[in-house]
Amino acid sequence: MDNLFKVQQIQQQRIRHLIEDFYKAYCQGDTERMYSCLDWSFQNHFSLEVYKTHSSFDVDIGLLIEVQWIEVQKEEARGLAQCLLDIGQKIREMVLVCRLEEGGWKMDGRSLYKRR
């Protein structure tokens, strides 16, 4: 049981790092790094060039204030992260979805951009 808890903590830390890295890249205007944080399905559907130039992705996704909690759903290879975001000068709680892929955790691009 103790080992399972440690594995869970490691997965939560990796998800937290991914989200923080994504929002740091957003603040720095680093669209290539943002894109690299998104899941394979999203990247397969939208090329980096489309991601950089299409107006659907040039939106205010907010500033990350805090990752409040993370739930790892092992069976679905999914992580849910409750985050506090500053979007358009309004503080909002949002659940961000992450997916476990071969290369590690990635943010679910469709759910991220669909919520705007």
CATH number reported for the structural domain that contains residue 13 in this entry: 3.10.450.50
Residue ranges making up the domain that contains 26: 2-114
Q: State pTM to two decimals.
A: 0.92
Domain count for the chain: 1
pLDDT classification of 115: cutoffs 50, 70, 90: low
Token pair 């992580």 is found at 79
How high is the pLDDT of residue 1?
53
Buried b (16+ CB within 10 A) or exposed e, 33-50: ebbebbbeebeeebeeee
Token representation of residue 62: 């907010």
* pLDDT (mean) for 19-29: 97
Q: Supply the pLDDT for residue 75.
A: 87
What is the percent of the chain with per-residue pLDDT over 90, rounded to a whole number?
79
